[in-house]
Structure 1
Amino acid sequence: MKARVHVMLKDGVLDPQGEAVRHALGSLGFEGVEGVRQGKVIEIDLADTDAEAARATVTEMCEKLLANTVIESYSVELG
């Protein structure tokens, strides 16, 4: 089973990479971009075939390693 984890900075946390991208887009002539938030996507191949068990395993991975839950939020997709 495949899992996809989306990790983003929480609202209110400064995103210097996103701001650099916003500035670069403006320099390239893309007008009207008022904000950019940059995150990461992590794809994991799991041996689990049970969706509930897989979701629990990936959630534990996120809580322990993949996301800094103090400043980041995450979502899990299974497929």
Structure 2
Amino acid sequence: MKFKAAVVVTLKESVLDPQGVTIKEALHHMRYNQIESVRLGKFVEISLDASSAENAEKLVHETCRKLLVNQVIETYKLQALSPVSQKEA
């Protein structure tokens, strides 16, 4: 079966996000003072072939831990995992 996974990678809360701070300051200069904080991250969309949804999820977690995420400073969340129909493949 074919699947699509959506993964969001962000810096850990304990890690300073200088880009986020810069964007927040720029927004405040633009008078968007309601914005309290900004943290940037990455969105990763993965297309994969697996025998089941459970195996697809395991594969996504494994690739995140081994390559996509620097676990020293980043964390990730599997936002969605959905089967892809033959039409979409």
Normalization by structure 2: what TM-score? 0.82
Query: 1:49 Cα deviation (Å)?
Result: 4.8
In terms of fraction of residues, the more strand-rich structure is 2
User: Where does structure 1 differ by over 3 angstroms across 4 or more consecutive aligned residues?
Assistant: none
Unaligned ranges ≥5, structure 1: none
Cα distance in 1 for residues equivalent to 2:49 and 2:58: 13
Larger radius of gyration: 2
Cα distance in 2 for residues equivalent to 1:18 and 1:48: 36
Show the counterpart of 2:37.
Answer: 35
Query: 1:20 Cα deviation (Å)?
Result: 1.1
Total equivalences in the alignment:
79
Amino acid at match of 1:78: L
Query: 1:12 Cα deviation (Å)?
Result: 1.4
Unaligned ranges ≥5, structure 2: 83-89
- Would the alpha carbon gap of residues 30 and 52 (structure 1) be closer, same or farther in structure 2, given more than 3 Å must change? same
Show the counterpart of 1:22.
Answer: 24
Which residue of 36, 44, 47 corresponds with 1:45? 47
Identity fraction in percent: 47
Root mean square deviation, CA, Å: 1.1
